[in-house]
A and B are shown apart, each in its own frame.
Chain A
Amino acid sequence: MLTVVLKLVTIVAERVLQERLLHELKELGARGYTLTEVSGEGSRGVRASEWEGHNVKIETIVSPEVADRIIEHIANHYFQHYAVIVYAQPVEVVRGNKYI
């Protein structure tokens, strides 16, 4: 089957940001996403406190341009005050037009 290469963007963020991020992802051009509850440790310490909520992992497959826009948006708006990481990697998908 024919595959095309797109970008898989993964965001791991504190739970309070979930609704905001999902809303903004769609505005930035993502067509869909997968959401998982996760926990872990990073530069801001263990983030597993129920009182702040778990972390969420949001994955979305998008065109390279949208991927850049998402990463830039998150870097500008969230890196300073929130516990967030974002990264992108190339993925091979079928039905490429489903995602862009």
Chain B
Amino acid sequence: MLEILLTNLLSPIVLAFALGIVAQLIRSDLSFPEPLYQALSIYLLLAIGLKGGAELSHTHWAVVLKPAFVTLLLGMLTPITSYVVLRKIGRMDRINAAAIAAHYGSVSAVTFIAAQTFGQLQGTPAEGFMPALVAMLEVPAIVVALMIVFLRSNHHGSWRDGLHEVLTGRSVVLLIGGLLIGYLSGMEGLKQVEPFFVSGFKGALTLFLLEMGLVAARRLRDLRKVGAFLIGFGILMPIVHGVLGVVLGSWAGLSEGGSAVLGAMVASASYIAAPAAVRISIPEANPTYYLTASLGITFPFNLTLGIPLYFALAHWIGG
């Protein structure tokens, strides 16, 4: 376990993330221009879509069916478990609980990428079609969480605008678009774009993680405002969801690496698709809560300790 942990902590992407945090804490003038951040996120999302789609093109549908079913199930279950924990144990109001639940049910693409990269490094790579599961995990949770709010109270946001925001948001469009392009053009098609989209991938990821470190450190300042409960929630909820993901993934026939990556996906909290949708649809919810929990607590936790933990668990179950 310790060895796995060290391999992860000393990987370039985790170190780059740490550099970002340090740079922000010492008030360095290092900052990413927004177009660069946008460009990197477009590149990463399209790249994983392309690779996943190309893999799907030569995978038999029966292999994907059970993992896909499990993913959808988890996508609908995790916002509900999050909501119940936030309401019953955290005594949070309905609006903020639902807003946070939307984030914890949905998925963080970067956590997924980090987990997948870690699997390759460990010699237990996940199935190539995993990006398709990311696309499936992203939307349902946000819909479920919005339903909790809209069915049980009347308020100011727009349910339709929120749904539109999720379905047409750049992460969904790029991921599903990339999957389609990859699927239609196949492995041959992927070869044509490989020098750019595959070889440069880890470099771009490292840059992106540096930026993530800067952003996460900015949220750390709000830790005091969110309180001890939410900090604990931001660490324990991912572990519960992660274990659930690993166990169900392994039940669905995923490999050791695949179950671990599914665990990391289920454990992760969204911070691109969900915040935009929630801000539009549930404006009364306080962004400090959901953004700080998702970006300032859960993302750093998963990146450093969570991912090795899910891999160790998958290994234990598999072995």
Contacts and interface: CB of A to CB of B under 8 A. Distances in A.
> Is the interface on chain A under 10, 10 to 19, 20 to 34, or 35 or more residues?
10 to 19
Interface string A44-65: 0000011111100000000000
Contacts of A77: 156
Contacts, number: 31
Given A50-B37, A82-B283, A20 B215 contact: no
Given A20-B161, A81-B283, A81-B284, A50 B295 contact: no
A51 B283 contact: no
Nearest to A14: B279
Interface centre among A52, A77, A81, A82 (most CB of B within 10 A): A81
A5 interface: no
Contact of B34 (A14, A20, A50): A50
A35 to B, nearest CB: 16
Interface centre among A50, A52, A81 (most CB of B within 10 A): A50
A80 interface: yes
A16 B169 CA distance: 12
B287 interface: yes
A50 B156 contact: no
Contacts of A54: 34
Nearest to B287: A52
A57 to B, nearest CB: 16
Interface centre among B157, B161, B272, B279 (most CB of A within 10 A): B279
B208 to A, nearest CB: 12
Contact of B276 (A16, A80, A81, A82): A16
B34 A52 contact: no
Given A81-B156, A81-B284, A51 B271 contact: yes
